[in-house]
């Protein structure tokens, strides 16, 4: 579902999103995700890699923090064990 943004807000959001995607942390996670997917394509099919539990999960479970929401693990609170 897309956000209903004005053209100006849409451009600014694209700039913010790109800046966030190009951080060292995001690049490392992206690279790790690609390595894991290429190593085990059967387990990865249709799923996302969860960096916290080091497993492949459904998109819904991974992005929703298994039903707990994402507020508790944002920013500095996010720890990979």
Q: Which of 20, 49, 21 is nearest to 35 (CA)?
A: 49
**Integer distance in angstroms from the first to the last C-alpha of the chain?**
32
**pLDDT score at 50:** 85
The secondary element (H helix, E strand) that includes residue 61 is helix 59-63
Written as six digits, the tokens of 40 are 């085990």
Is residue 27 a part of any domain in this protein?
A: yes
Domain count, the chain: 1
Q: How many CB atoms lie within 10 A of CB 56?
A: 19
Residue 68 has pLDDT above 80, yes or no: no
Q: Coil, helix or strand for 58? A: coil
Is residue 1 a part of any domain in this protein?
A: no
**pLDDT score at 20:** 94
Model confidence, pTM: 0.61
Least confident of 1-5, 19-23, 36-40, 73-77: 73-77
Domain that includes residue 34, residue range: 7-70
């Amino acid at each position: 579902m897309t956000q209903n943004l004005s053209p100006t807000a849409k451009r600014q959001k694209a700039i913010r999103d790109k800046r966030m995607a190009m951080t060292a942390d995001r690049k490392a996670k992206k690279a790790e995700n690609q390595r894991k997917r290429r190593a085990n394509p059967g387990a990865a099919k249709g799923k996302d890699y969860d960096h916290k539990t080091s497993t492949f999960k459904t998109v819904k479970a991974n992005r929703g923090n298994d039903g707990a929401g994402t507020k508790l693990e944002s920013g500095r609170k996010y720890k990979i064990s």
